[in-house]
Amino acid sequence: MSVDSRIGSGFSQEELSAASWWVKHRLGLRRFLLALGFTIIALSWGYALWTAFDSYILSWRHDQAIPLHILTQELNPGAITALRPQALQPSDVSILPASGGRKSFLVHVGNPNPNWWAEITYHFSIGDTQTSSVHSFILPQSQRYLTLIGWTAAPSVGAQAQIQVDNLVWHRVDPRNVEGSYTNFANRRLQLSAINTQYNAAQITLNKKTIPQTNFILQNLSAYGFTSVDLTVVLFQGGAPVDVALLNEQNILPGENRPISLNWFDGSTVDINKTDVSADVNILDPSVFLSSNHL
């Protein structure tokens, strides 16, 4: 800085201008800062007072009702019951004779739930005697047979049998996995049926023994093929089941009509007046469908 720019005791022109501005405006600046401080304090107190007024006067009743409403909803037995699946509906257990002195067990089970399907592990018991366990499934709003074939009975076993559930796992149907509607999803896929069912008490002879035979056609009217389909064939006499057999058919093609013959080697009676064939496949498992490479 040059010597000529300094005045009097040595202050520069810029320093003197800044000092002059401070002398002229310091009172106004002090007033502004005081007003800003009072404004902030007033707003803070106003917010605090309004919050207290709203909490304890305006919204008090509404806020008090919220916990009670939540508690009522949580403890409402009706609401809880509406959300959980209803129990499976089994029929009485039938004990059927099998070859070699063995026994078979048969029960008809219904699932009344439209949006739940069940995985079930079960066994049958007669008195203190229990069979081995079987794993199966039941689709929503459907009925099927649960069975155990060819169990070797103990000599002291009585005639009363019950089905015992070892494990039951409920699965809620995800609408995203069933194109928005399980009913429509199932109607397009579950078009398996047995047609032209015939029971012949003297169909074949083996070692001078007459072997009855059931013949039917497994018809798949859907546009979907299946890697595996379980068939439960039940013979009825006078309205009561008298024999049962399990079959498994592989690689069922779309639109296929597959002839099937079943021999009853335990020699079922000739007075069979009804044959029921149930086809079961878990359409909620993507792996059961045939890929395009197998069609």
Nearest to 272, CA basis, from 234, 236, 232: 236
pLDDT band of 78, cuts 50, 70, 90: low
Contact 198, 213 (CB under 8 A): no
Span 248-264, mean pLDDT?
A: 95
% of the chain residues with pLDDT over 70: 85
Q: What is the tens place of the pLDDT at every residue in 109-132?
A: 999 999 999 999 999 998 888 899
Q: Which residue has the higher pLDDT, 143 or 65?
A: 143
List CB contacts of 263: < 8 A, sequence separation 6 or more: 203, 204, 211, 212, 213
Core vs surface per residue 3-32: b (16+ CB within 10 A) or e: eeeeeeeeeeeeeeeeeeeeeeeeeeeeee
Report the pLDDT value the prediction gives residue 219, as an integer from 0 to 100: 98
Q: Which residue has the higher pLDDT, 90 or 9?
A: 90
pLDDT, residue 136, reads 97
The whole-number pLDDT of residue 159 equals 64
Q: Is a pLDDT exceeding 90 seen at residue 147?
A: yes
Bridge-based pairing of strands 89-90 and 192-206 is unpaired
Least confident of 52-61, 119-128, 177-186, 252-261: 52-61
Asked whether residue 233 carries a pLDDT value surpassing 90, the answer given is yes
pLDDT top residue among 293 and 218:
218
Q: Is the confidence at residue 74, as pLDDT, over 70?
A: no
Q: Is the pLDDT of residue 91 over 90?
A: yes
**CA distance linking residue 185 with residue 254, whole number of Å:** 16
Confidence category of residue 9, pLDDT binned at 50, 70, 90:
low
C-alpha to C-alpha distances, 62 to 55, 69, 70, 72, nearest whole angstrom: 10, 10, 13, 15
Sign of the torsion formed by the C-alpha atoms of 201, 204, 209 and 211: negative
Q: What is the pLDDT of residue 17?
A: 79
> CB within 8 A of 242, min separation 6: which ones?
96, 235, 236, 268, 269, 272
Question: What per-residue confidence (pLDDT) applies to 34?
Answer: 86
Q: Report the share of the chain in percent with pLDDT over 90.
A: 52
Amino acid identity at 160: Q
**Identity at 258, one-letter amino acid code:** R
pLDDT at 70: 67
Quick one: pLDDT band at residue 1, thresholds 50, 70, 90? very low
- Digit-coded pLDDT (tens) for 183-226: 999 999 999 999 999 998 876 776 677 788 999 999 999 999 99
Top pLDDT among 79 and 235 is at 235
Please give the Cα distance from 39 to 36 (Å, whole number). 5
What confidence score (pLDDT) does residue 50 get? Answer: 83
pLDDT (mean) for 23-30:
79
Rounded average pLDDT over 66-82 = 66
Q: Which residues are paired to 148 by β-bridges?
A: 105
- With bands split at pLDDT 50, 70 and 90, how would you rate the model's confidence at 294? low
For residue 10, pLDDT over 70 is answered with: no
